[in-house]
């Protein structure tokens, strides 16, 4: 009897020009995440509902060879349930000739290190959720997760794979001083790349009942001599 394959993937977005800088790509949405960020709008994905197996995704990708340049691994948190099976899946994607981008909250730094060692990632977007004193408030995750995230950041700073750091901003959760504090952390670790500040996406499905979009501060007051600060959707 054929074994029943486990489903890990919530959905596939067949085409995007927005999610992989400079590339025509598709998105693989992994289910599950250990965080519960107040502004998260992918609540159904995060709570673990999955519809597709790795086999399903690979069959789809076979039909996109030569049409797409890249595959974005997104979620949820793609590395939440990382194992050898997932590594094999990513290797198969690379063998088909696609570039791979990983969107991650950085908590599973060991999985990130393994993927870098295996040379299967071409670009990483690392979430910097909040400064240390607000990390638990924003993510509803364990206190030591900040330290795990920092491990990922330090690993990436030392590595030659391209990456960006990004923060989702909701003014109920982060103030200007918090964001400036995060800039200081990045600079003190000698990060010198892009720091993307992105406005939260309004949704009826956020984990937390947040106020609607408002402008209690001017995000463009954030300054840095060493980082390239990018603003998305402000």
- What residues line the site for ligand SF4 (CB under 6 A)? 33, 35-37, 40, 42, 46, 75-77, 105
* Dihedral sign (CA 26, 30, 36, 42): positive
Which lies closer to ligand SF4 via its Cβ, residue 46 or residue 99? 46
Which lies closer to ligand SF4 via its Cβ, residue 46 or residue 102? 46
Which lies closer to ligand SF4 via its Cβ, residue 42 or residue 167? 42
| CA gap 13, 25 in Å, rounded | 9
| CA gap 70, 93 in Å, rounded | 9
197 burial class (0-12, 13-18, 19+ CB within 10 angstroms)? buried
Min CB(183)–ligand SF4 separation in Å: 21
Min CB(224)–ligand SF4 separation in Å: 24
Min CB(59)–ligand SF4 separation in Å: 25
CB-based contact 194:165 (threshold 8 Å): yes
Min CB(101)–ligand SF4 separation in Å: 15
- Helices 109-117 and 84-95 pack at an angle, to 10 degrees, of 40
Element (H, E) at 232: strand 228-232
Min CB(42)–ligand SF4 separation in Å: 5
Give the Å distances, CA to CA, from 183 to 52, 134, 174. 38, 15, 13
Min CB(76)–ligand SF4 separation in Å: 5
Which lies closer to ligand SF4 via its Cβ, residue 33 or residue 100? 33
Compute the half-sphere exposure of residue 112: CA atoms within 13 Å on the CB side of its CA.
Answer: 28
Which lies closer to ligand SF4 via its Cβ, residue 46 or residue 68? 46
| CA gap 43, 59 in Å, rounded | 27
CB-based burial, 82-106: b 16+ in 10 Å, e otherwise: beeebeebbebbbeeebbbbbbbbb
Which lies closer to ligand SF4 via its Cβ, residue 190 or residue 203? 203
Which lies closer to ligand SF4 via its Cβ, residue 23 or residue 170? 170
Min CB(46)–ligand SF4 separation in Å: 5
């Amino acid at each position: 009897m054929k074994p029943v394959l486990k489903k890990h993937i919530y959905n596939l977005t067949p085409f995007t020009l927005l999610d992989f800088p400079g590339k025509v790509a598709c998105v693989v949405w992994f289910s599950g995440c250990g965080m519960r960020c107040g502004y998260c709008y992918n609540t159904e994905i995060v709570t673990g509902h999955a519809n597709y197996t790795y086999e399903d995704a690979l069959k789809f990708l076979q039909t996109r060879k030569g049409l797409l340049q890249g595959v974005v691994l997104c979620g949820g948190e793609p590395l939440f349930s990382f194992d050898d099976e997932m590594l094999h899946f990513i290797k198969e994607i690379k063998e088909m000739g696609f570039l791979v981008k990983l969107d991650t909250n950085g908590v599973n730094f060991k999985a990130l290190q393994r993927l870098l060692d295996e040379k299967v990632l071409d670009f990483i977007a690392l979430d910097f959720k909040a400064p240390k004193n607000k990390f638990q408030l924003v993510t509803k995750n364990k206190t030591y997760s900040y330290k795990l995230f920092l491990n990922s950041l330090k690993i990436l700073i030392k590595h030659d794979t391209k990456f960006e750091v990004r923060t989702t901003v909701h003014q109920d959760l982060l103030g200007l001083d918090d964001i400036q504090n995060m800039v200081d952390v990045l600079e003190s670790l000698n990060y010198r790349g892009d720091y993307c500040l992105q406005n939260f996406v309004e949704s009826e499905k956020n984990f937390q009942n947040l106020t609607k979009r408002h402008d209690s501060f001017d995000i463009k007051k954030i300054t840095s001599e060493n980082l390239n600060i990018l603003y998305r959707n402000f």
